[in-house]
Amino acid sequence: MATPLDSERRDRSTTQTRGHLHVIWDVIFGVLRLIRRHVRNAYAVFGIFLLGGAGIAVAGTYAFSKIANTVRKGRTQQFDDTVMHWMADHQSKAIQTAMVEITSLGTGVVVGMIVLVAGMFLWLNHHRHSAILLIAATLGGIVLDNLLKVGFNRPRPKVFEWGTYALSSSFPSGHAMSSVIVYGTVAYLAARLQQNLASRVLTMTIAALMIGAICFSRLYLGVHYPSDVLAGLVIGLAWAGFCMAVLEAAQLYAKFNAPQMLKDERPAPPGASPSS
């Protein structure tokens, strides 16, 4: 018969399995503790994680569709033009140069190198599921971005001369989408391996600031409307959130059904090195 001590140990074990970013996940999936007391089937708990991820994806997709519909009807155009004219009135050569450098952080080459380096690090440090998640999230984001751009085919702003080269259509912003998917996912995976709460918060904060800076650079350089950027952020968060939930679900499933899988995905102990 299970004892309260056994239950506490199971909760503690599950927390470690989900990684050290458990504070955030406890907020999102805190109801699982109550459910697990009544649902002993691991498939059911696994399904809850997947449903949670699907819920994030559906909510984000719905929000994106509302933004897209508003843009199609031209209801955002006045606001978009107002913001772009403000950007035009506050152009500075020095700031524009800085924005060109910042916007390059969201280009395909830079994002691809970040994914490659981060993926190799995770794979060599025995976090293969995390590496696969990062690659899948990135490739999925690229496909999704291109499909949406072709589908909407919105012309780019022509309020003032662009400060950088831009190709393809404007809606949604590919830089906004790729930055929130790649930098957000890398920060999430890095935070899972960190022992200290302050360092986890710092990691996520730095990622958020980088994403915000890249998004602002697209506006300042005149190649995107605010609604383009907002739409890219929303759909990017939806896709990244779903991918993260899938990883957490796989972790929980492995704990109950395939413990050997956890050998390829284990939170790093203090002082861990690639050779450990």
pLDDT digits (tens, 9 = 90+) for 184-227: 999 988 888 877 888 888 999 999 999 999 999 999 999 999 99
The 10 Å CB-count burial string (b at 16+, else e) for 239-265 is bbbbbbbbbbbbbbbbbeeeeeebeeb
| CA–CA distances in Å: residue 275 to residues 187, 193, 239, 271 | 23, 16, 33, 11
Both tokens assigned to 78: 């006045």
Whether 114 is in a domain gets the answer yes
CA angle 238, 241, 246 (to 5 degrees): 125
- Listed in sequence order, the residues at least 6 apart from 156 whose beta carbon sits closer than 8 Å to its beta carbon are 162, 166, 169, 170, 223, 224
What is the number of structural domains in the chain? 1
Residue 33 has pLDDT above 70, yes or no: no
- Domain presence at residue 276: no
Residues 6+ apart with CB under 8 A from 238: 56, 57, 58, 59, 60, 61, 63, 64
Statement: residue 97 has pLDDT above 90: yes
pLDDT surpasses 70 at 38: no
- pLDDT of 247: 78
- 105 pLDDT band, cuts 50/70/90, is very high
Chain-centroid distance, C-alpha 11: 27
Tokens 């952080």 -> residue? 105
pLDDT of residue 260: 59
Angle between the N-to-C axes of helices 174-192 and 197-220, in degrees from 0 to 180, rounded to the nearest 10: 170
Domain range enclosing 102: 21-264
Indicate whether 81 belongs to any domain: yes
pTM of the model: 0.75
Has residue 116 been placed in a domain? yes
Percent of all residues in the chain with a pLDDT value above 90, rounded to a whole number: 35
Q: Is residue 163 part of a domain?
A: yes
What residue type is 247 in one-letter code?
Answer: L
**Mean pLDDT over the full length of the chain:** 79
Q: Quote the pLDDT of residue 28.
A: 47
Asked whether residue 23 carries a pLDDT value surpassing 70, the answer given is no
Q: Is the pLDDT of residue 16 over 50?
A: no
Question: Residue 180: is it exposed, middle or buried by C-beta count within 10 angstroms (0-12/13-18/19+)?
Answer: buried
Indicate the pLDDT class of residue 276, thresholds 50, 70 and 90: very low
The mean per-residue pLDDT over the stretch 126-140 comes to: 86
Assigned domain for 100 exists: yes
Dihedrals φ, ψ of 193, to 5°? Answer: -95, -5
Burial of residue 80 (number of CB atoms within 10 Å: 0-12, 13-18, 19+): buried
The yes-or-no verdict on residue 54 having pLDDT over 70 is: yes
The CA distance from 206 to 16, in Å, is: 24
Classify residue 179: in a domain, yes or no. Answer: yes
Residue 1 lies in a domain: no
Q: What is the pLDDT of residues 220-270, one digit of tens each?
A: 999 999 999 999 999 999 998 888 887 777 777 666 665 555 565 555 555
Predicted local distance difference test score (pLDDT) of residue 164? 85
CA distances from 269 to 116, 192, 195 (A): 24, 11, 8
The contacts of residue 51 (CB under 8 Å, 6+ apart) are none
